[in-house]
Amino acid sequence: MVHRAGSGEFRYYSRNQNDFSTKIGPSLNHQVNPFFAPTVDNCVLDTELLLWDTVEEKYVGKGRLASDGRVYDVKNLKDDGAVQASLAVFDVLFLNGRSLMNIPLERRKLLLRDGSILSKQDKKVIFVADYDIVSSREQFVDIYEKAMRDHEEGVVVKKIDSLYKIGVRHMANGWFKVKPMHLGDESLDLAVVGVDRGRNSFIENYVVAVIRDDKFFVVGKVSRGLDDTIRKRLRSKLEKDHGWLNGKVVPDWIHGACTSADRATDYVHKDNIQVVEKNREADEKALRNELLKDEKFYRFSNLTFFLDGESLPPTTLQYARILLKMHAAKISSSMDEHVTHFVVENRADESIKFPAIERKMELVDVAWIEAAVEL
């Protein structure tokens, strides 16, 4: 997140509200400032900080080697390397004293494109990120497949009329990520809504949640993966100004479907909720078990699907495969005893030859899959 004041002063914040201005600003401020339109007094932009390889003239992915054989941290760059920081702008949230979060994404995108904010662009310094507007499965599949061929992490999908909601990136707002595997090597964004405090008020567990029905749905507790410095910093943010809420009373912004095992000894005041990343190496098994019970992305976790290549057109076949993998389904390459669902183009088509097997198996189509995942 980039905050720019009329005087040309910049502040840089992560999604977790960490201020990286002193680290990023010295090398970036003087480069990006000339690109802003003279009519911009102040603004807040939603951006991504990228690495540009000045030798090979291309972007360097996170954790990948640059042309000089080194791996760089974009938030800790020095002037002696083969890379420089570049800002990709995705959204504008505030412009000249006015909040834009309650206007549709389509209008915010127009502001970024019409020169109202950036009078010029350079992919090596600052630029408005490209996007595609799609209205069909075929268009989406083409974009997704290209991203996979280019070894991208995934595709971010946003409804064109969606509003900007702070700290929310989920399907209820029409924003979600499509990745080749969910809960593979990537991380999850979770909100810390409470803690379990033990002897001497030491925090033994962090209670984490996702958004559901505009409330925080607790998915489990985590305890490992943080060093003492991070623990202290996180605690100071969770306690800031308000202290803790007694866990004997569950706040009304916690989803009512949470179990008693998810109760915290102390809850965080809503203003102090922090979003953290949860990766597979720390407490993945416990977290995954909770997610498998309730989370939408695991709707098909105990099911095995066979996709009928004879009735499904290639594009529909690929689209169905993506949807199923996104929601933790197993896909079988053969019709065996593990298959629970047989996927065809149209299950109402009486000409489809449904396999004759002894046990029960459900005949479904793409429309059924979409309805099951609430698309």
Dihedral over alpha carbons 168, 171, 175, 176 (to 10 degrees)? 100
Predicted pLDDT of residue 119: 93
- Here the tokens at position 362 are 């459900």
Tell me if the pTM is above 0.75.
no
198: left (phi over 0), alpha (psi -120 to 50) or beta: beta
Let me know whether 122 and 154 are in one domain.
no
CA contacts within 13 A on the Cβ side of 341:
22
Question: What is d(CA 160, CA 158) in angstroms, rounded to the nearest whole number?
Answer: 6
DSSP-derived secondary structure for 325-350: HHTT-EEESS--TT--EEEES-TT-T
Let me know whether 264 and 361 are in one domain.
no
Let me know whether 325 and 299 are in one domain.
yes
- The model's confidence at residue 259, banded by pLDDT at 50, 70 and 90, is low
Per the CB < 8 A criterion, the answer to whether 205 and 221 are in contact is: yes
- Here the tokens at position 277 are 């990343």
Question: What is d(CA 129, CA 137) in angstroms, rounded to the nearest whole number?
Answer: 22
Assess whether pLDDT exceeds 50 at residue 287. no
- Here the tokens at position 335 are 């019709």
Nearest-CA neighbor of 310 among 342, 341, 337?
A: 342
Let me know whether 236 and 342 are in one domain.
no
- The model's confidence at residue 182, banded by pLDDT at 50, 70 and 90, is very low
What does each C-alpha distance from 219 to 197, 211, 224 come to in angstroms? 18, 10, 16
Nearest-CA neighbor of 308 among 359, 366, 368?
A: 366
Nearest-CA neighbor of 44 among 126, 115, 110, 117?
A: 117
Q: What percent of the chain is modeled with pLDDT above 70? A: 83
Q: Which domain holds residue 228?
A: 188-281
Strand partners, 99: 94
Predicted pLDDT of residue 169: 47
Q: Which of 239, 254, 281 is the last residue of a domain?
A: 281
Q: What is the CATH number of the domain that holds 232?
A: 2.40.50.140
CA contacts within 13 A on the Cβ side of 64:
15
- The model's confidence at residue 336, banded by pLDDT at 50, 70 and 90, is confident
Radius of gyration of the chain (CA): 24
Let me know whether 152 and 234 are in one domain.
no
> Rounded to the nearest 5°, which phi and psi values hold at 171?
-65, -25
Query: Mean of the pLDDT values across residues 346-354?
Result: 76
Question: What is d(CA 294, CA 201) in angstroms, rounded to the nearest whole number?
Answer: 31
Nearest-CA neighbor of 198 among 266, 245, 250, 258?
A: 266
Nearest-CA neighbor of 85 among 97, 96, 70, 73?
A: 73
Let me know whether 199 and 266 are in one domain.
yes
Dihedral over alpha carbons 27, 31, 33, 38 (to 10 degrees)? 170
Let me know whether 53 and 92 are in one domain.
yes
Let me know whether 209 and 307 are in one domain.
no
Let me know whether 299 and 221 are in one domain.
no
Question: What is d(CA 11, CA 22) in angstroms, rounded to the nearest whole number?
Answer: 8
Let me know whether 11 and 102 are in one domain.
yes
- Here the tokens at position 18 are 């960490």
What's CA 371's distance to the chain center, in Å?
22
Question: What is d(CA 83, CA 180) in angstroms, rounded to the nearest whole number?
Answer: 28
- The model's confidence at residue 317, banded by pLDDT at 50, 70 and 90, is confident
Q: Which of 230, 257, 281 is the last residue of a domain?
A: 281
**Counted domains in the chain:** 4
Predicted pLDDT of residue 280: 46
Place of tokens 């449904």: 354
Sign of CA dihedral 252, 256, 258, 260: positive
Let me know whether 314 and 272 are in one domain.
no
Q: Which of 83, 109, 128 is the last residue of a domain?
A: 128
H or E, element range at 290: helix 284-294
Predicted pLDDT of residue 193: 92
pLDDT per residue over 14-64, tens digit each?
A: 876 778 888 888 889 999 999 999 999 999 999 999 999 999 998 887 767
Place of tokens 């662009």: 121
Predicted pLDDT of residue 13: 87
Question: What is d(CA 130, CA 88) in angstroms, rounded to the nearest whole number?
Answer: 9
Let me know whether 43 and 150 are in one domain.
no
Predicted pLDDT of residue 78: 77
Q: What is the CATH number of the domain that holds 97?
A: 3.30.470.30
- The model's confidence at residue 3, banded by pLDDT at 50, 70 and 90, is very high
